[in-house]
Amino acid sequence: MDRRHFITTTSSLLGASAAGLPLESDAGEFSGIIHKGVKFSMVREPDLSILDRFKMLKDVGFEGTELRTENRGDAAEYAAAIEKSGLKVHGIVNSNKPDLATAVEFAKNMGGDSVLYVAKYDRKKPLMESWNETQEVIRKGLPAAEKHEVKILVENVWAGFLISPLDVERFVDEVDSPWFGSYFDVGNNVRWGVPQHWVEILGDRIGKLDIKEWDEKKHASEGLRAGFSSELGEGTIDWAEVRKSLKKIGFKGWATAEVKGGGRERMREISTRMDAVLGLA
């Protein structure tokens, strides 16, 4: 999608929303199939209560959000916000903390069905030691996952670990549990491969999606981290092909933005951009 078309589409959607008119997202190819979420840590409205932040996310078009395990201390306030706003907490981000059972219980208490776990790689050890140790951490969390019906999902990050879809495929299959799968980050994997190819190989191992952009031109000219600096829909990810692969594997579930956050208008922009790249509008 070129920038001019995206801006025109975005302006139309925002204008309809401001006027109280139905958004075109109601008729998108993946509307009702992909559920739109955002990391709660992205919200930059410090003067708003948790409840008002939840209401704001709901107002700008999100169906759900993800908390972090660090938010457990405010669990009662989050539970009240869920009930009063109608915004779901669909999962918990646990990073690489080994206490998966606690994260699983927190997810269940918030009404979520997943825990995101980052595969840790200790570069001072042989690769297979990290591989086996990480799988052991996951296996220890599986009884809690089964008990609470919350999936543990491993994410592909920039740790130099699980850097191909065949790695993730093998890693997930060796654990061999219906309560374990892949949290596929569309943007993270572009350094190593092509998102739509990963999707087709991982298939139903993918439990949820993280959504961010990648711009290979900026990566090449400005450096590694600059690859993530383009807005959704303005980088070099071929979102049409990603959608085609998601449709091919029959993906249904949550897609959560993990990009630069901000206040209400920034959240509205992210919501609208997700509509465009994911076929929700």
Residue 25 has pLDDT above 90, yes or no: no
- Predicted structure pTM score: 0.89
Give the model confidence (pLDDT) of 102-136 as tens digits. Answer: 999 999 999 999 999 998 888 899 999 999 999 99
**What percent of the chain stands above pLDDT 90?**
78
Give the model confidence (pLDDT) of 236-280 as tens digits. Answer: 999 999 999 999 999 999 999 999 999 999 999 999 999 999 999
Residue 46 has pLDDT above 70, yes or no: yes
Contact between 280 and 25 under an 8 Å Cβ cutoff? The reply is yes
* Burial bucket for residue 45 (CB in 10 Å: 0-12, 13-18, 19+): middle
Give the model confidence (pLDDT) of 135-150 as tens digits. Answer: 999 999 999 999 999 9
The pLDDT confidence band at residue 95, using thresholds 50, 70 and 90, is very high
Higher pLDDT, 40 or 22: 40
Domain that holds residue 215: 3-278
Give the model confidence (pLDDT) of 178-233 as tens digits. Answer: 999 999 999 998 888 899 999 999 999 999 999 999 988 888 898 878 888 899 99
Distance CA 86, CA 42 (A): 19
| Number of structural domains found in the chain | 1
Contact between 36 and 232 under an 8 Å Cβ cutoff? The reply is no
Cβ neighbours of 189 (radius 10 Å): 23
**What is the reported pLDDT for 144?**
98
**What is the reported pLDDT for 20?**
32
The pLDDT confidence band at residue 8, using thresholds 50, 70 and 90, is very low
Question: Which pair of tokens denotes residue 133?
Answer: 């140790």
The CATH number that applies at residue 147 is 3.20.20.150
* Burial bucket for residue 269 (CB in 10 Å: 0-12, 13-18, 19+): middle
**What is the reported pLDDT for 147?**
98
Distance CA 22, CA 32 (A): 15
Residues 36-40, mean pLDDT to the nearest whole number: 98
Average of per-residue pLDDT values in the chain = 90
**What is the reported pLDDT for 219?**
81
**What is the reported pLDDT for 159?**
74
Question: Which pair of tokens denotes residue 235?
Answer: 């980088």
Question: Comparing C-alpha atoms, which of 21, 38, 152, 44 is closest to residue 97?
Answer: 152
The pLDDT confidence band at residue 27, using thresholds 50, 70 and 90, is low
Q: Residue 37: phi, psi to the nearest 5?
A: -130, 175
**What is the reported pLDDT for 22?**
36
Q: What is the DSSP letter of 158?
A: S
